[in-house]
Amino acid sequence: MPASTMPSLRRLVVKIGSNVLTRADGLPDLDRLSHLVDQVAHLRQQGTEVIVVSSGAVAAGRSLIQLPPKADAVSSRQVLAAVGQVKLLSIYAGLFAGHALTCAQVLVTKEDFRDRRHYQNMKTCFLELLAAGVVPVVNENDVVSVTELMFTDNDELAALIAAQLGADALVILSNVDGLFDGPPTTPGAQVIREVAPGATGLAQFVQASRSQFGRGGMLTKASMAQKVARLGIHVYIANGTTPDILPGVVAGTALNTWFRPRPRTASETKTWLAHAHAAATAVVTLNAGAVAALVAPGQARSLLPVGVVSIEGEFQKGDIIHLIDEAGQPVGLGVAEYGADKARERLGQQRQRPLVHYDYLFVQS
């Protein structure tokens, strides 16, 4: 398969960033939005299920109301998002209707991914919408998502949904052609066409600055792309301002950065755990022997109390816990089989029930 050729597509997540949908004056770019909907409709006609993760609600809100210059930044964002989300979805609905397609609004918060029941309910909703031929248009619920409740940006949200739905591919549309091997404005800088699984050192190529209208940046995109690719999902970072970019990415003719995936092996539970770090309520430190046992390739090992050095924080049975080594480096995440009190009683003891069963353990690679 050529380096950037997309696999046979059953299900695709497309994330459209703020700098793609927003003009230089901060208002929505309706022509570009219309062109992107045309491309999504074309994919749907070819039999691909498409989930659109779209920014742009705040920009749409700016086109409708003006707030005082000195208004609180958080509350202003809430107001603009609340007003703008209605307009944004009405635009999407009208554009998709022109292709005889129906779209649906799905607003989510980080809390929906932390709770297992919410996670399953949301997944069921997505699958029912797709089965009915509906195009879900997803955005963070900025009206209630503030400070610690917010996703890093919609790149993180798109990554979570791609993992949740077992998508074949995730396309992240930004206003650049991909990940460059130097500052994009530097003469001679070139797009990195392929990132291998487990590649390190990408941060040296990525500028930490954020986009003009979005909350994230290329460093966030690269980090999320690698995490999703580890779950067996093809990820592409491409320029959403390029004409016919989606057909070009699918055909392998468009300039982009492809994050080559690892073979799919993770169970649904482990996939959820891989993205549930925000739900962890405590930190459990493991000794070197336990870490070695858990990370050994091809081994299915549970975490036993004999391998636990210390426990910081409280947790109950069923809570997610962070697992780290004695140097403080992350090892993984797990679902506790019993509470912190019992775990402390059994600290370092042999022949005890596992604190985390293998089926509910995600080890970072």
Same domain, 251 and 214: yes
* Residue span of the structural domain in which 288 resides: 280-363
pLDDT of residue 96: 98
The string of DSSP codes covering 107-122 is: EE-THHHHSHHHHHHH
Between CA 38 and CA 48 the distance in angstroms is: 14
Same domain, 51 and 185: yes
Q: Residue 100 contacts by C-beta under 8 Å, 6 or more apart in sequence? A: none
At 171 the pLDDT is 97
**In terms of domains, do 248 and 297 share one?**
no
> Do 206 and 297 lie in a common domain?
no
Residue 304 and residue 220 in one domain = no
Number of domains in the chain: 2
Annotated binding site for substrate: 55, 142, 154
DSSP, collapsed to helix, strand or coil, labels residue 359 as helix
**Residues contributing to the annotated binding site:** 15, 55, 142, 154
What gap in Å lies between CA 131 and CA 149, rounded to an integer?
30
Cα–Cα nearest to 180, from 172, 191, 188: 191
Nearest to 80 by CA among 34, 26, 21, 33: 26
Task: Encode pLDDT of 55-111 as tens digits.
Answer: 888 888 888 998 888 778 788 888 998 999 999 999 999 999 999 999 999 999 887
pTM (2 d.p.): 0.77
Q: State the binding site for ATP.
A: 15
211-222 confidence digits (pLDDT tens)? 444 444 677 788
Question: Domain with 55 in it: what CATH number?
Answer: 3.40.1160.10
Residue 303 lies inside a defined structural domain of this protein:
yes
H/E element holding 125? Answer: helix 116-131
Tell whether 4 is covered by a domain: no
- The candidate with the shortest Cα–Cα distance to 101, out of 144, 45, 152, is 45
Residue 275 lies in a domain: no
Q: Tell me the C-alpha distance between 128 and 109, whole Å.
A: 20
Q: Which residues have C-beta within 8 Å of that of residue 297, sequence separation ≥ 6?
A: none
Say if 2 falls within a structural domain: no
Shared domain for 287 and 147, answered yes or no, is no
Angle between helices 154-164 and 116-131 (to 10 degrees): 80
- Are residues 35 and 141 both part of a single domain? yes
* pLDDT digit string, tens, across residues 107-152: 998 878 776 678 889 999 999 999 999 999 999 887 776 655 567 6
Q: Which residue has the tokens 């005890």?
A: 352
Last residue of a domain, one of 214, 240, 266: 266
